[in-house]
Amino acid sequence: MMTQSPSSLKTFINCPALYKARYIDKIIKFTGNAATERGELIHKRMEELCLGSALSPDWGTNGDGAKLYGQNFINEVLKIGSLREKGVKIYVERQIAINAKGEIVDWWDKSAILRSRIDLFIDMEYAGAVIDWKTGRTPGDPLQLLINAMCLYPLNPKTRYDGYFVYLDQAKVDSSTMIFDTAPLNSENGKVLELRLWLEKLERAYAENTFPATANNDCRWCDLRSNCDSRS
């Protein structure tokens, strides 16, 4: 079974048939579009800002001079930069993979079961803050923050992680808290149990080669839609 990322697992949860087409048969290839290009640019700028880069005059605009986000939001992010000056540990753009024992392994290691990219992690002694920058309006999935925290745990073990989706265009934040009574993969935390259940279902799907089409809210965007009798 391939290593799962938050997006691959979410795809399986929504529709196993789409998961198979995208990640096993690879008949759907995502080549990017203007929105993903913009998203990448904004993530790069956020990374620079959190690392303490000075703001250039065009910092809040793209190459064409269009505004990326408002001054209010920039002010908020500058506060993150100031945490670094106060000695708080800040990590940007971390990529972490873990194996079934919850140990860190190489990103491409075959034993990796989960891997995730973490936009920003702030180590605040009493808790860890996991921050994901969102461009566009699509709501973030708490499953992503959970996998982020599980991958961070071996490097920065915490009992509590606070996860934040920061919607840059709307200057809006969604948050959730994750509590781990023990190492996350062995945790009895309800969200972890649910995630383990999905990983087991996925393993069974691979073993039985059974990936049923399951109608969901994203059917209207699905590349398989025209040939799918199960679509909503």
Catalog residues that contact ligand SF4 under the rule CB under 6 A.
Answer: 15, 17-18, 213-216, 218-219, 222, 224-225, 228, 230-231
Residue 141 beta carbon to ligand SF4: minimum distance, rounded to whole angstroms: 16
Residue 143 beta carbon to ligand SF4: minimum distance, rounded to whole angstroms: 17
The rounded distance, in Å, linking the Cα atoms of 130 and 144 is 10
Residue 11 beta carbon to ligand SF4: minimum distance, rounded to whole angstroms: 9
Query: Which C-beta is closer to ligand SF4: that of 153 or that of 211?
Result: 211
The H helix count followed by the E strand count for the chain is 6, 6
DSSP string, 23-50: IIS--------HHHHHHHHHHHHHHHHH
Which tokens sit at 28?
Answer: 């759907």
Query: Which C-beta is closer to ligand SF4: that of 178 or that of 205?
Result: 205
Torsion over CA: 169, 11, 184, 1 (sign): negative
The rounded distance, in Å, linking the Cα atoms of 205 and 73 is 43
For the purposes of burial, counting CB atoms within 10 Å of the CB of 142, is it exposed (0-12), middle (13-18) or buried (19 or more)? middle
Q: At what angle do helices 190-208 and 142-152 cross, to 10 degrees?
A: 100
Residue 210 beta carbon to ligand SF4: minimum distance, rounded to whole angstroms: 14
The rounded distance, in Å, linking the Cα atoms of 128 and 120 is 10
Query: Which C-beta is closer to ligand SF4: that of 17 or that of 205?
Result: 17
Residue 13 beta carbon to ligand SF4: minimum distance, rounded to whole angstroms: 11
Residue 222 beta carbon to ligand SF4: minimum distance, rounded to whole angstroms: 3
Query: Which C-beta is closer to ligand SF4: that of 202 or that of 213?
Result: 213
Query: Which C-beta is closer to ligand SF4: that of 11 or that of 99?
Result: 11
Query: Which C-beta is closer to ligand SF4: that of 17 or that of 178?
Result: 17
